[in-house]
Every structure is written in C-alpha cells, then in structure tokens.
Amino acid sequence: MLSFRLAARSAALFLAPTLAIAQGSPVRAFTGFTLVDGTDRSPVPNATIVVREGRIVAAGPANSVTIPAGAQRVSLAGKTVIPGFINAHGHVNEPKDLRTYAAYGVTTVFSLGGEPASVFAARAEQNTAALDRARVFVAGPVLDPKTPDDARKQVADVAAQKVDIVKIRVDDNLGTTPKMTPEVYRAVIDEAHKRGFRVATHLFYLADAKSLLAAGSDFVAHSVRDADVDADFISSIKRRGVCYSPTLMREVSTFVYESTPDFFADSFFLAHANAEWVRTLQEPARQQAMRASKSAQQYKVALEVAKRNLKKLSDAGVPIAMGTDTGPTGRFQGYFELMEIEMMVKAGLTPRQALASATSAAARCMKLDRELGTIEPGKWADMVVLDANPLTDIANVRRIASVWIAGNQVAR
C-alpha cells in the first residue's frame, strides 16, 4: 500500500510540471478559503481550486482535490472566494474601462450599446489564458429606426458587425421625446430573430414592457418604473423565459447628485473613480439644477417602484440579471455594481439571490454560462476573493482582497 502511494505520488510529480511547461502557463492552486461557487451548493470550508490555462480544472473541499505537483500555490486562508461579477447591462466607452470594472470584481460586462471600434477589438482579443481585465460583450450602435424598412436595414448593419445582442430603446423620456412605434420595434425584433440575434429592450412603462414581450423581446434591460407589475406581465415574462435587469443604480444616478453623496468620501470609491466626474458633480450650480429638476424628482419615485417590482418578480421566480447602466457620466463603473448588489438586498432579495443575479443567473441570461458565472471545472477562472462571506452580510462584497481573471491577478 505504502509503495503504491509513493509510486502514484512520484508519477504525479513527473507529470504535472510537464503539463505546465507544455501548455505555456502556470498551473495555480488556490487553497484554504471558503468557496461560494455560485451554484445552489452550500459554502465549502477549506476549499481548493486548481486552474490551468486560465480555466478551472477542479474546485471543492481540500481533501477531494489533488494539487498537481509543481503547481504555483496561492494561500487564501480565511478568505471567501466567489465567482466574478457579471454586469448584464453596462456601457464600455473605452478599453481602459475594463480595468476599472475588474478592480471592483466585475469580471464581465455586457455592454448594451455605443461601443467604439477599440472595444470591439478588445472583445476579439479576450479569449486567452493571459487575460487580466474584464471581459466585454457588445451591442454596437443602439438602433434608432423610424420605419420598418429602416429597422430591417439597421439590424442587417449590426449583424454584419457581429454584435452579441441587438439593442433598442422604447421610451419617451418622461414624455419629452418621441417613442419608437410598435410597428418599428416589431420589425427590429423580427429581423434580428431571422438572423439569429437576440434583442435587448430599454423600456420604462409597464404597457410597453408587455407589448415588447409580446413582440419577442429577449431581455428586459431596465426595471418597469411607472407602475407595479401585474399578474399579466409576470405570467408573460415567465412563460417566455425572459430575464429582467433592474438597473436600480441608473435611477440613483439621476437624482443623487442634488447634493454630494456619501460615497464621494469613500477611499474605495475614489481609488478608481473618474476624477473629472467627481469634480463636476460637486459643482454647486450643477447640484442646484438637479435639485430643481422635475425629471430627477420623478426618477426618485420611479426607483421605489423599481425596487417593489424587483422583489415581486424575484418572488415569482423570474430570472434577475444584475445590471446597472454604468458608463455614462455620473454612473461609476465597478463601484456602482457593488452598490446595485447591496440595493437589491435592500429591495428584499436575500444575499444569496442578489449574488446569484450577479453571477450564475446573469451568465445564463446573457448565454455565457458555458464559460462563466460559477466556479466549476471547465469554466474560466474569474473569481473575487473577499475578506468575509457575503452570504452573511451583503456589504462584504466591498471587502475585496483580490480579483482574478482567467486565473491571473488583476492590478488594482
């Protein structure tokens, strides 16, 4: 028995370094932490994760995982490891935004419109074990057709750009602008589906949400904010298996700068915040204008409607995908995603539900779950290391010790 064990061990010693060298990137073994893997499984104390070529090859209790000899060991004693956060509705303005998101544990961003060519290029380069910034998926230009013919032409254009999803807005901005008509958005959705693309829809009103679902919308990219959702909407969204992204922080950003928000004093926020925005958002004239803004006050009320609707839909079993609409001025990438997760809990979700919406559920909703969203063999090793367990207190999502993408530590 003893000699057998020794033989097995020396075989492992021989094999593992060979693999590591042959495949050109280190095998890493993370040890000694509590694993919250993003599935329904209970947290695993004293866990081990083995990563090779950027992907997880094993994850589980230390006594069930064999660490290949020659693996580079990373002790995470006392920490909690969770999957990297997936933002199902952000906006990436330039490639360096992907480092900002990653600094706060957001390891994937589904950018829903307006990306420049440099961000498309970043997407093309990310399928590598050397990655050390957030992954990005793109919608390209938000379509704004005026006729059904124009709609089909615009869909053909973004299809040629190989976008990951098609994006439209159906909104009158609180009655101030014309809204896309049903015949036009039906043409967008029909043409996108014919070409094999999904359609994400920006909306505000319950009536539009129902009509968009009936037309085949594949993703509700904002909360319903004018009215409480009703049984008709709930049964429709469930029947179609469509995911819902609350983007509560979008609402917050429309009124919170009527004074200087508390988070402007948080060093964790300031570490990566856009300094120009921080400066201009503190200008007294600007804050006064927001205080006086009718729309700001309306969106403040809309946020409370959105929170109630999130709770109702979550209770009904509708898949919720964490999204924020970060990227435009005043919507700070990375930090706002952590606030969004906390706000979802304030709206009535459990920490486990909020975490799922920001990891496994977001991955499923955006069709990324073959590669992302949980810590399981075969997936990319995108992970956040926390000083404390967020299932105990969701505020622990802020206590980030380190972030890893494809098993590489993110500079932050």
Q: Which residues of the chain form contacts with Zn ion (CB under 5 A)?
A: 112, 325
Nearer to Zn ion, 198 or 398 (CB): 198
Tokens of 387: 């000083």
Least distance between Zn ion and beta carbon 131 (Å): 24
| Residues 220, 209 contacting (CB under 8 angstroms) | yes
The CB-based long-range contact list for 395-398 (8 Å cut-off, 24+ gap) reads 395/342, 396/80, 397/105, 397/338, 397/341, 397/342, 397/355, 398/268, 398/338
List C-alpha distances in Å: 264 to 15, 42, 58, 89, 299: 52, 36, 41, 23, 21
Nearer to Zn ion, 78 or 328 (CB): 328
Least distance between Zn ion and beta carbon 325 (Å): 4
Nearest C-alpha neighbor of 110 from the set 184, 218, 195, 264: 218
List C-alpha distances in Å: 45 to 37, 41, 42, 62, 146: 11, 12, 9, 9, 57
Least distance between Zn ion and beta carbon 380 (Å): 25
Query: Which residue's CB comes closest to Zn ion?
Result: 325
Residue type, 133: R
Nearer to Zn ion, 256 or 403 (CB): 256
Least distance between Zn ion and beta carbon 136 (Å): 14
List beta partners, residue 408.
Answer: 405
Residue type, 161: Q
Alpha helices in 54-181 (DSSP H): 97-103, 117-124, 148-160
Least distance between Zn ion and beta carbon 255 (Å): 17
Least distance between Zn ion and beta carbon 225 (Å): 14
Nearest C-alpha neighbor of 99 from the set 241, 257, 271: 271
Least distance between Zn ion and beta carbon 247 (Å): 7
